[in-house]
Chain A
Amino acid sequence: MNMKRQLLFLSLCFALAAGSSWASIVGSTSPGNVVDSVDWCQFGCTGAQLATPQPWTSAGGQTGLVGLFDTGQGFYNLQQGTSWFGNFASGMGLVYNGGAVSFGNTPTDISVTFDEAQYGVGAYIQADFYGPFAATIMLYDASYQLLGSFSANGTSDGNPGTALFIGASDPINPVWAAQFDVVDQFGNDDFAIGTVLMSTPEPESLLLMGSALLGLTAFIRRRRSLKSEVK
């Protein structure tokens, strides 16, 4: 009987571990417990086209790269209120994946890589064309293998300060890169992202994890003491 219990416990552990590595990322439309941020006005916010990728530095001194998944498209540094009139907070720096010839469709995703592992990553995001759109964030590990993705719906219009935030975190695996994608109602996929935010676990999440660990410790101790009693 005891043996069966142990087997059941181990199976549960394996199932949980397997489950977590399969789909461990948690999506969110709120920034969470923000610890650092990347402001794209570090590139000047002049509306100029940029080479892709571009090295960035965060407010906290972290570094990484931002650019287009495919190097063949235009990549621009814009600013809400001067070269972009949409949903971002007034003055926010943006990177935009518009085509090199005209600001139309055919662009590819925007990727952001990090030189340090992250827990959670997200960004304000908006489709170029006004109307409804679906945004997706994909997280990657150190080998650039996909950890998981999360999608959310937003609306593109001219009301500053109402941009969709899309973010995701991985409680198990360190995140080394994030990729953003948008598809609007017409199938266009040109879009901009605003400030990128990096987050750590929420205090509640930490509390939950701590409780779980305490519980596990108590369970193991109990089993050990039962064993020694039987002996």
Chain B
Amino acid sequence: MKSKYLRNLFLVAVALLMVCQLGWAQSAAIPPDKTLAAKAVAAVQATGIPVPVVPFASIAAASKPAARPGVWLSRSLGANPTLHTGEPSFCDFNNGSQVALCPLGLQTAYSVKQIVGGNGGAGIVIAIVDAYAYSSAEANLAQFNSDMGLPACTTANGCFTSVVMTGASDGTGSGWDLESMLDLEYAHAMAPNAKLIYVQAKDSSYEGLGAAVAVAAASADIVSNSWIGEEITAYDSYWNVGKVLLFSSGDDASWPTKYYNVGYPCSALTVTCVGGTALHVNAKLQRTSETGWSGAGGGCSLAETTPAWQGRNGSGVCSPYRAAPDIAAIADPNTPVAVYINNPEWSPGYYGVGGTSVATPVSAGLVANIDTARVSFGKAKFTFLNQSLYNAAASNYNYFFYDVTSGNNGFAAGYQFDLVTGLGVSNGPAMANRFFGLIP
């Protein structure tokens, strides 16, 4: 018993060392070591401790400013979820005990079906931008939809469009593949009637990802990006696309790094920056509480100045710089969502996944539902979300937002705006309300 305990302790220590080494490797631009990372992941998985999936591919492009996905692998869930279609509708992977939230549960927790006129985001196009080509995405998404009772989203039925940017190499096994599946599956989970465009950037450089964002914005209403990097305002024009542009705030808590306090492009002034929470639900999958996630990125920009739209909520927090994030949603790897992936580097099946990479596509799906409702009432779709969000907060905070008042990422979550969850979690039904929603 004692030796087993010591062995586990040793494994944890080795794993932490390896993870730290990977963390150092990123900033020092050392070429990736896949074997090392795989060992680290395996060792930590054996202990049940959440471990970040490090994007090896992003390191290879370190000569240019590079971004990395914000996905956290929590645990393997196996390949055979049981879908309960009754009320509440949920899936389980382990003899009835829920270890990860599935799409229908997440829809319940965030009251998606209560969005009058939301219709699952029908008529809205959500773009997912990730680095590198991943040809298995559509097949994985099909399996996920089949298992989870969601409508099919395929090229054949016109729901799914894959765009591979010129020169994109294969990203299978890079970490971006899991990120891609998370993004596609949970944007679709929250907005099952919206169309998806999956834009695969040439590489993880800002140039590569920026070109992909431009392509995405040309065809989509909402662009979801779950990746983050060094704060360089010279790239700001890349993110000024005239569409709703969501970025994850990162999983490095508020710890200042050599490059940023809050991740980029999340801190850019044309971006809606999405932070992270731990979402707790009851047996009916209704939200009982939501707290700030300790790993969620947030803080004061070092370069972006305070925007006028931030108004009384947030503008004074980091003045003269921008405070982030703007909003938040589920991200804690200890309250993970179930993501399906099947490729040579992953055992086919489901993985419990966290990170602000979850919060971003989930928020994109919510916004899609709100947009559909707006269109049904003769209102325009959102193009820039932040002005409306902060107006709503100033108008009637408690109606439009769920205030996250506990949790800590280095900063403490608190009354209304804070540097863990921004304004808090958007109340979809309120924001889509024909009478009291964000009009225009």
Contacts and interface: CB of A to CB of B under 8 A. Distances in A.
B435 A69 contact: yes
Given A53-B399, A72-B391, A67 B435 contact: yes
B377 A144 contact: yes
Contacts of A53: 396, 399, 433, 435-436
Contacts of B438: 71
Given A53-B396, A71-B438, A144 B391 contact: no
Contacts of A111: 435-436
Contact of A51 (B116, B376, B396): B396
B117 A143 contact: yes
B436 A142 contact: no
A116 interface: no
Nearest to A109: B435
A57 interface: no
A140 B399 CA distance: 21
Given A51-B395, A51-B396, A140-B434, A71 B439 contact: yes
B399 A113 contact: no
B114 to A, nearest CB: 12
Interface string B401-440: 0000000000000000000000000000000011110110
B392 interface: yes
Interface in A158-195: 177, 179
Interface string A110-151: 010100000000000000000000000000101110000000
Nearest to A65: B436
B395 A72 contact: yes
B399 A179 contact: no
A70 interface: yes
Contacts of A113: 433, 435-436
Nearest to A111: B435
A52 B395 CA distance: 7
Contacts of A65: 435-436
B440 to A, nearest CB: 8
Contact of B395 (A69, A71, A143, A179): A71
Nearest to B440: A70
A71 B391 contact: yes
A71 B396 contact: yes
B350 to A, nearest CB: 35
Nearest to B119: A143
Nearest to B392: A71
A57 B438 CA distance: 24
Contacts of B396: 51-53, 67, 71
Interface in B146-167: none
Nearest to B400: A71
Contacts of A67: 396, 435-436
Contacts of A140: 434
A179 B377 CA distance: 14
Contacts of A72: 391, 395
Interface in B373-404: 376-377, 391-392, 395-399
A143 B116 CA distance: 6
- Residue among B117, B377, B436 with the highest chain A CB neighbour number at 10 A: B436
Interface of A: 51-53, 65, 67-72, 111, 113, 140, 142-144, 177, 179
Given A51-B399, A69-B439, A144-B433, 15 more contacts: A51-B396, A53-B433, A67-B436, A70-B439, A71-B391, A71-B396, A71-B436, A71-B438, A72-B391, A72-B395, A140-B434, A143-B376, A144-B116, A177-B435, A179-B435
The 10 closest A-B pairs by CB, nearest first: A144-B434, A111-B435, A51-B396, A71-B395, A53-B436, A67-B436, A144-B116, A70-B439, A69-B435, A52-B396
